Chains A and B, each alone.
Chain A
C-alpha cells in the first residue's frame, strides 16, 4: 500500500514536471507534497469539497424544479384565465364559434388542451342548464375526449381516474362504452372511480354494476355512492334485489340504503337476512326491522335472541322498544332479571317507553331489585342519555 502511494506521488510529480506550465508547476508540486505529508488534512479537504459540490447540486436542482414548476403554474394560470374569458363570451353569445376557435390560442398543444379541459370541467361543476350542455358540446367539437380516453389507457392510476372523471362529466356517451370494463379492476382506486362513474352514467339503474361486481365494494365507494344519490338526480332503486348478492359488503350497503330510504316493500327479503351467518348483516337487518317498524319480524327476533351475540341482542331489545306490545313484557322482564347491564338498561328503557306501569309491577314482584330498577329508570329518563 505504502509503495503504491509512493509510486503515485512520483507519477504526479513527474506529470507536473513534464506537462504543467512553470507558474503552476511549483504550486502543484507543493500541493502534492503537502498532501502526502499530511494525508488527514488532505482527506478532510476532499470531504469538504465533496459536500460543497453536493450542496451546490441540490440547490441547483431545487432552483431548476422550482423555476420550472412556477413557470408551468404561471402558464397554466394565464391560459386558464384566457380560456375562461373566451368561453364566457361564447356562452353569452358575444362571439360565434369560429371566432371562439381563433381566440382559443394554442389549443392544439397537449398542455393547453389539458388546461382547456380543466376549465370546461370547472364551468360544468358550477353551472347547470344550457351552459352544462354547451361545455359538453365544446369538449366534443374540439375532440378533447381523445385526450381523456388516452389518459384512461395510462398505466398510472391517477391519470386513469382523471380520464374517467373528464369523460363522465363531459362526454357520458363515450364513457359508457368502456367504463364497465374497469369496474372489476385489480386496482382498488381505479375500480372505485369506475363504480362511481357508472352510477352517474346510469341514472336509471345506478347499481346494476353490483350484479357484475367480483371485487370488493369498499366503504369509500359506498359513501361515494350515497353522496352521488343525494347530490344528483339519480333514481333510487329498490335494494331488495341486491340483498341476494354473495358479497357481504353489498348486503350491508343495501340494508343501510333500505333504512335510509325507508323501503318498506323489501320486508320479506329483510326478514330472510336474519339467518345470515355474518353478524354485521344480521345487526343491520335488526336495525332495518326496527327502523321500518316491521312488526312481522318481532317473533323472529325474539326467537333468535338466545343465539345472538351481545351486540345483536342489544339491538333486538332496542327494536322491541318500537315494535313491542303487551305480550312482550315478560320477555323484557326476564332480560331485566338476568341479562348483562347493557341489556338490562335497554330492556328497562324499552319497558319504560312501552308502559312505565310495567316497571312498577316488576318492583312489586321482585322487591329486591327495586333499588336497581330505580337506578335504571333514573338513567333512562335522564335527558343526557
Chain B
C-alpha cells in the first residue's frame, strides 16, 4: 500500500483529504505543521508528500527546501495551497515541488494528480 504524508494545518482539509485518499486505497500519515511533517519524515519513508504552504513553525517552502537541498530527498511533492499567486507557484516549483493545486480544489482532480505523481515515481 502506497504511503502518503499529508501536511496541513486546516483540520477540515486534513481530515477530508485523508478520508478521500484512504478510500482510494492509500495509507495516510498526518501532520498539522511543517515541524511535525519533517519529524515524521525523519523515521518514515513515504511515496508522496502533500503539503500546504502556510503552516505554523515551519512553512511549506521550508519543508520542500529542506527535503530537496539538505536531505536530497526525491519523494514527489504536491503543494496544496490557497496562495495561488504566480509568485507562490513559481517559488514552490523552483524549490522542487512537483505539482501545485490551488484551493478550492476538486477531490477528483486531486486523486488523478496523486495517481499520476505516484506513477511517475515508479
Contacts and interface: CB of A to CB of B under 8 A. Distances in A.
A binds B: yes
Interface of A: 84-85, 88, 92, 122-132
B12 A129 contact: no
Given A92-B20, A92-B23, A84 B107 contact: no
A126 B105 contact: yes
A127 B15 contact: no
Q: How big is the B interface, by class? A: 10 to 19
25 contacts: A84-B12, A84-B15, A84-B16, A88-B16, A88-B19, A92-B19, A92-B20, A92-B23, A122-B12, A123-B12, A123-B16, A124-B104, A125-B103, A126-B10, A126-B13, A126-B104, A126-B105, A127-B16, A127-B104, A127-B105, A127-B106, A127-B107, A129-B109, A130-B108, A131-B106
Contacts, number: 39
Contacts of A122: 12
> Chain B interface mostly helix, strand, loop or mixed?
helix
A85 B11 CA distance: 11
Contacts of B103: 125-126
B12 A126 contact: yes
A129 B20 contact: no
Nearest to A122: B12
B104 A88 contact: no
Interface string B35-77: 0000000000000000000000000000000000000000000
Interface of B: 10, 12-13, 15-16, 19-20, 23, 103-109
B15 A129 contact: no
Tell me which of A84, A92, A126 has the highest count of chain B C-beta atoms within 10 A of its own C-beta. A126
Contacts of B10: 126
A129 B16 contact: no
A131 B12 contact: no
Contacts of A131: 106-107
B31 to A, nearest CB: 18
Contacts of B104: 124-128, 132
Contacts of B105: 126-128
Contacts of B23: 92
A223 B21 CA distance: 37
Which are the 5 A-B pairs with shortest beta-carbon distances?
A129-B106, A128-B104, A126-B13, A126-B104, A128-B106
